[in-house]
Structure 1
């Protein structure tokens, strides 16, 4: 039995800054609770103001340390910050391993910072499939900035570009990241590149390689954003001012040319499509056991009908 949810009271508490209410709302999102539609309808009038920053990169480049440093920088500006740290799923419980959350204890007692670990649950792209709705919860709860830290799985991790207003790509010297960037299409998703652990040998070479690859891309045309490359040592908060300056410049750039609105509209379109496809899958989830499927399969094997025509007939029967 699922516990009944007083949605108006829960949303009101979250809007008032209750961490427990925010946690409960995100749990409803992750569980796909029947009250989720009511929750989203209640949150809609209060969302749309948070700035979403995605942080991605290969494992070991210092994503959690950099995220922690950015949280501190935004808090110094008096902003309320939400963090969604998407962790790999536990193979036993399916839950998040909480590694990122453990590393962010510096802000654990700050009431103006909300940190939530989310399990990827096998979803490719470095995110959880519920991340867009979780962002909406933090947005409506009054967060000025939402930082989304991805799993760190490498080349499949480009989904963040469609979710964030600004995407930060983290790299580190000595990890072959220059080659990985070229292979993974990272040049296409990064708005700001950060070479972390810049106190290591090879940092300047990594910066040089990145700038060279960016110069070869089609974003060097006049009027297009050219991603800056910044060096940091996040554990010592070195280079953080330069990162914040780059973020400010990118936000101003996309606000001025209308790209911010276009990105958010694309994000909403992707979210709508995802929800619609989930509804279609749920409606037609019994396809495998449909009595007409076997007959159609036999016709395809016999060459009496092609698989596309068979699929059309099956859909017609399901909709009848």
Structure 2
């Protein structure tokens, strides 16, 4: 399967993403096989409130990127169907214009209830597209307001989309999702209130004292349904990419910096625009996520008896014990090989 991914075979890519979504040993082995061939694609995160026109903008972005010669992968992260567990929205339904373009790969991924809007396997799926030879990978998130911040942990550049007339003028004055933007896109700029929204975002940005060598997020007005402003968005992405390559973070996760893993794990990618530093922070956080997931899987499959965790929760709820004592006891048991269940796989 790895060979098919590296060859850019669409069916092989689709199969690989399905495997990593299912969190199987086959998926882990695949990621090990292709990881050395990653690190070349530029990851663009697109987020914003529902109704902002993210899918339409992404559709137009793909067209502009293709005109500029880029091979493009798209990961559209959708809500999970409560019945099938699959993505509710179909990738082909949203971007029919690119369905027959060999230079474009489109995939919908279900969130499976993951808070923050990014599917658990989005990181790995992006790496699959990277290894397949895509120059750009666009990650379009569900769009659930200010909880939509996980994208910053995956993307190299994050675009926050806003639309006039939806209360975004007020949201622009609040913390949260506004803090993750490298680029602001005011879509549906032909609506009344678009200038007022731009002014509100400008006012928010003015509260931060940007040094001459700091990136100040630009505000780009678009009418995605007409293709207006799309070239300006791609230009802004290119400008940020060039800036982040030149930016150096002397004290935040820069290669060679005297920082331990704990610092990297707790660092915030929003603290820097240095592309290398951002990737190092994301790698540390990804390793942390994998270790945490592996430990919990070990605990569930090889240590806990069936129903034991539910009983423990009941005891905590009844104040017969506390979460901290329970966690310490579970950790001690999980760390001791002698405590592995006899019937554990």
TM (normalized to structure 1)?
A: 0.89
- Whole-angstrom CA distance in 2 between matches of 1:255 and 1:15: 26
Compare 233-242 and 285-294 and name the one that shifted more. Answer: 285-294
Partner of 2:192 in structure 1? 201
* Structure 1 residue ranges without an equivalent (≥5): 1-9
Mapped pair 1:282 → 2:297:
yes
| Contact 1:11–1:42 (Cα < 8 Å) also in 2 | yes
- Whole-angstrom CA distance in 2 between matches of 1:284 and 1:153: 32
What pairs with 1:84-123 in structure 2 (closer than 5 Å)? 84-99=75-90, 101-123=92-114
SS of aligned partner of 1:285: helix
* 1:11-52 alpha-carbon deviations (Å, 9 max, x no partner): 222222211000000000011122122201111121000000
By relative contact order (CA 8 Å, sep 6+), the higher-ranking structure is 1
* Structure 2 residue ranges without an equivalent (≥5): 249-273, 337-345
Alignment partner of 1:317 out of 333, 337, 340: 333
Structure 1 segments, 4+ long, off by >3 Å, are 181-184, 286-311
Q: In the superposition, relative to structure 1, how do residues 33 and 208 fare at CA in structure 2: closer, same or farther (>3 Å)?
A: same
What pairs with 1:208-287 in structure 2 (closer than 5 Å)? 208-218=199-209, 220-258=210-248, 259-285=274-300
SS of aligned partner of 2:160: strand
Q: In the superposition, relative to structure 1, how do residues 255 and 316 fare at CA in structure 2: closer, same or farther (>3 Å)?
A: same
Compare 83-92 and 30-39 and name the one that shifted more. Answer: 30-39
Mapped pair 1:27 → 2:25:
no
Partner of 1:185 in structure 2? 176
SS of aligned partner of 2:52: coil
**Corresponding residue pairs, total:** 310
Offset of 1:317 from its aligned partner?
A: 3.3
Offset of 1:319 from its aligned partner?
A: 2.5
TM (normalized to structure 2)?
A: 0.83
Offset of 1:184 from its aligned partner?
A: 4.8
Offset of 1:154 from its aligned partner?
A: 1.1
- Whole-angstrom CA distance in 1 between matches of 2:224 and 2:317: 60
| Contact 1:80–1:144 (Cα < 8 Å) also in 2 | yes
* 1:165-214 alpha-carbon deviations (Å, 9 max, x no partner): 00001111111112223335223100000000101111111111111111
Compare 301-310 and 79-88 and name the one that shifted more. Answer: 301-310
Partner of 1:124 in structure 2? 115
SS of aligned partner of 2:83: coil
Offset of 1:257 from its aligned partner?
A: 1.1
Offset of 1:288 from its aligned partner?
A: 5.9
Q: In the superposition, relative to structure 1, how do residues 168 and 101 fare at CA in structure 2: closer, same or farther (>3 Å)?
A: farther
SS of aligned partner of 2:47: strand
Offset of 1:231 from its aligned partner?
A: 0.4
Offset of 1:290 from its aligned partner?
A: 8.4
Mapped pair 1:154 → 2:145:
yes
| Contact 2:44–2:138 (Cα < 8 Å) also in 1 | yes
| Contact 1:64–1:103 (Cα < 8 Å) also in 2 | yes
* 1:49-94 alpha-carbon deviations (Å, 9 max, x no partner): 0000000000101000000111011100111000000011111101
